[in-house]
Structure 1
Amino acid sequence: APDTAPGTVFLQLDGVGHDLLRAALRERPATRGRARPRPPLMETLAAWEGTTHTLTRWRTDWSSQTGASQLGILHGSNEDVPAFRWYEKDTGELMISNRPTSAAELQRRAAARAGHPGLLAEDGASRGNLFTGGADQLALVLSVAGRRGRHNRSRAGYFAYFSDPANATRTAGSFVAEVCREIGQSTRAKLRRERPRVRRGGLYPFIRAFATVVERDVVVAAVIGDMLAGRGAVYADLVAYDEVAHHSGPYSRDTHQVLRRLDRSITLIAKAARHAPRDYRFVLLSDHGQTPGETFAAQYGLTLEDLVRAGCGLPVPRRAGRTRSGAEARAAARVALHRPEETHEREQAPAGAPPAGPDATATTPGPR
């Protein structure tokens, strides 16, 4: 019967690449003073691999980011999603994948192209995602976050979770601990002069704590509630690793702790499934991987915006103008645009050479 057929729980490990996950499922070398190898970072998933589950590699398209991947998975089309953010000439708008208005428009377009509401349209639930997937049961879904009034059911996940004092107390304590953990890890990275490194001050410790604690707890509780209610399909995005890896690096010790906590969350969900009114099949997937690297500003001494402004002949900050990239950008852009070469600087004539004539000018070297 349809009501007793196995349901499906899709758990998206945001930003976890194939090689990273494979390493997290293997035993780690023994440390000093220990004779045996250490257990895998993700023990539950390590036990699943090769028994109930198979680890398979897949490749994203040109836009390797959550918006494009999740839109294709949940709505069957990611056409015209070239990047995380882009400018649309037709509408004159800047589209940003994690902006509620942009996410709502991308979802509308994908559903229209695919000809159906989405993967979760039949008795489904969408938890912590950018898009609804056509689900009626929503919590922390960005594409409907811009809605106002009682019709926005996405916020209901917060209220349902924090209405329980035990949940609120436990999550608040974990939130404070995560803020302190980020401050300590950031300070340690500075003292060790780890590279590459991005700024992690300001509000980031609180943003990280929200993603790795609050959102995780609310999403996990919502998924468990969906299974106990016997819903047919649930898709949940666990964003903790992606948030930390963007700032600490994909293979850092900071992310090891996040992977262990993700594994515990999956263990909790799997245990709760034993009490559900129907069987559930678990599908774990990722939307993209990550590669460590310097930011553009850290590598070249100026932002990409400054480089474009310099290439277009617009003023740039003094800091950017003093960098090699800032000095070369204008010349490179002029060559590409077939503009006349700049003539405001004169080359110094070699000793013994005749004076430069009126037509002799100095030129800025173009790209080599």
Structure 2
Amino acid sequence: SAVASATGAALAVRDDDAYRRRLYRLADRRRGSAPPCPATPGTVFLQLDGVGHDVLLAAVDKGLMPTVARWLGTGTGGDRPSHRLTPWRTDWSSQTGASQLGILHGSNHDVPAFRWYEKARREVMVCNRPTSAAELQARAIEYSGHAGLLATDGASRGNLFSGGADEQALVLSIATRRRGPAARSRAGYFAYFSDPANAVRTALSFVAEVGREIGQSTRARLREQRPRVSRGGLYPFVRAFATVVERDVVVAAVTGDLLAGRTAVYADLVAYDEVAHHSGPTSRDTDKVLQRLDRALALIENVAEHAPRPYRIVVLSDHGQSPGETFRSRYGLTLGDLVRAGCG
């Protein structure tokens, strides 16, 4: 029953093995009813948003990410490496919008920053605004002459852009569409929370994350840590959404894609980026987030072993971060205030 399912999830909310067993049973059911998949490997792209090369190496060295360590052959089990770690540099617009647009659509032409003013259109473009994301995606498709990386049997999960995928969930560039088959940005939420076990598991974790953020921000304020930004208001709930709800929904969608045998899947896990912007890229707060992201990678790897086709797992990042004071904290006024004062 729904009550029994919800109760079981509450008791096993921190038990990844219990969650994994549920997925395996689902895999067995799907395998019996689904048509055969190609024998060629599929590819899963997992974007750890904002995790720089040095941050990842440090996390592996500190034992925070044993799954990644095992893939790189530096774990305690003496496994041979299955992956190699390669650094890369963004262009001068070092942010998710420019990087992900280039990765998914082959071009980030004319994307100078996260936010800018276009004089010809008399419009402020913001990469994480749905209308702007849709416009940037359309421009990239026109410029590159191709629908995107995921155009062939692909799935886009939790991204700013679709990559040309037919299967989309939590994709910002389609968030403004109200009707039609392409308007599926929020479908991932409905599919995930329709299962009472998922709902209870995520709700309890959400509440715990809100409490964790309040405690961590209070500790940072009492210790007078610098640099420090405001973490009050709705931010604890924003953080919990990014680190719990978005993660759980995206990981569940990816596991469904694996069990369905899709050819290419691209998913953005934004938890680290959200916390690092407020707590600092090398703080104890972000260490905890990296540990949980590693568990998500392990879960996806285990599900891939039960998929109807082999999969290659590619872990990548879109940019890094470095600590620094905000303009207002450093100079006592915002950059906007300075520009307005300079313009008279």
| TM-score relative to the length of structure 2 | 0.86
What is the alpha-carbon distance in structure 1 between the residues aligned to residue 102 and residue 88 of structure 2? 14
- 246, 250, 253: which one aligns with 1:219: 250
Aligned to 1:13: 48
* Residue 47 (str. 1) matches residue 60 (str. 2): no
The AA in structure 1 aligned to 2:45 is F
The AA in structure 2 aligned to 1:88 is E
Aligned to 1:188: 219
Cα RMSD after superposing both structures: 1.0
**What is the CA distance between 1:25 and its match in structure 2?**
1.1
The AA in structure 2 aligned to 1:54 is R
**What is the CA distance between 1:150 and its match in structure 2?**
4.7
Aligned to 2:168: 138
What is the alpha-carbon distance in structure 2 between the residues aligned to residue 179 and residue 139 of structure 1? 25
Aligned to 1:202: 233
Write out per-residue CA displacement over residues 114-157 of structure 1, whole angstroms, 9 at most, x where no aligned residue: 10100000000000000000000001000000111353112111
Aligned to 1:334: none
**Do the aligned partners of 2:155 and 2:266 also contact (CA within 8 Å) in 1?**
yes
Tell which structure's C-alpha radius of gyration is larger: 1
Q: Which has the higher contact order (CA 8 A, sep 6+)?
A: 2
What is the alpha-carbon distance in structure 1 between the residues aligned to residue 234 and residue 120 of structure 2? 35
Shift >6 Å, 4+ stretches: none
* SS of alignment partner, residue 276 of structure 1: coil
- 88, 108, 122: which one aligns with 1:92: 122
* SS of alignment partner, residue 281 of structure 1: strand
Aligned to 2:89: 59
**What is the CA distance between 1:225 and its match in structure 2?**
0.2
* SS of alignment partner, residue 262 of structure 2: coil
- 40, 43, 58: which one aligns with 1:23: 58
* SS of alignment partner, residue 210 of structure 1: helix
- 232, 235, 238: which one aligns with 2:269: 238
Write out per-residue CA displacement over residues 34-62 of structure 1, whole angstroms, 9 at most, x where no aligned residue: xxxxxx11000011014011111100001
Q: Structure 1, unaligned stretches of length 5 or more?
A: 29-39, 314-368
What is the alpha-carbon distance in structure 2 between the residues aligned to residue 7 and residue 259 of structure 1? 26
Moved more, 255-264 or 144-153: 144-153
What is the alpha-carbon distance in structure 2 between the residues aligned to residue 63 and residue 150 of structure 1? 34
Write out per-residue CA displacement over residues 272-292 of structure 1, whole angstroms, 9 at most, x where no aligned residue: 011100000000000000000
The AA in structure 1 aligned to 2:145 is G
Write out per-residue CA displacement over residues 286-327 of structure 1, whole angstroms, 9 at most, x where no aligned residue: 0000000000000000000111111112xxxxxxxxxxxxxx
- 324, 327, 335: which one aligns with 1:293: 324
What is the alpha-carbon distance in structure 2 between the residues aligned to residue 288 and residue 116 of structure 1? 24
What is the alpha-carbon distance in structure 2 between the residues aligned to residue 119 and residue 138 of structure 1? 13
Aligned residues with identical type, % of pairs: 76
| TM-score relative to the length of structure 1 | 0.81
What is the alpha-carbon distance in structure 2 between the residues aligned to residue 66 and residue 155 of structure 1? 21
* Residue 112 (str. 1) matches residue 142 (str. 2): yes
Alignment of 1:275-286 (within 5 A): 275-286=306-317
The AA in structure 1 aligned to 2:44 is V
**Do the aligned partners of 2:37 and 2:308 also contact (CA within 8 Å) in 1?**
no
What is the alpha-carbon distance in structure 2 between the residues aligned to residue 180 and residue 61 of structure 1? 38
**Do the aligned partners of 2:37 and 2:309 also contact (CA within 8 Å) in 1?**
no
Aligned to 1:317: none
**Do the aligned partners of 2:193 and 2:199 also contact (CA within 8 Å) in 1?**
yes
What is the alpha-carbon distance in structure 2 between the residues aligned to residue 115 and residue 49 of structure 1? 36
Aligned to 1:312: 343
Determine which structure has the larger helix proportion and give its number: 2
Aligned to 2:39: 4
**What is the CA distance between 1:189 and its match in structure 2?**
0.2
What is the alpha-carbon distance in structure 2 between the residues aligned to residue 169 and residue 86 of structure 1? 41
* Residue 170 (str. 1) matches residue 205 (str. 2): no
What is the alpha-carbon distance in structure 1 between the residues aligned to residue 143 and residue 307 of structure 2? 35
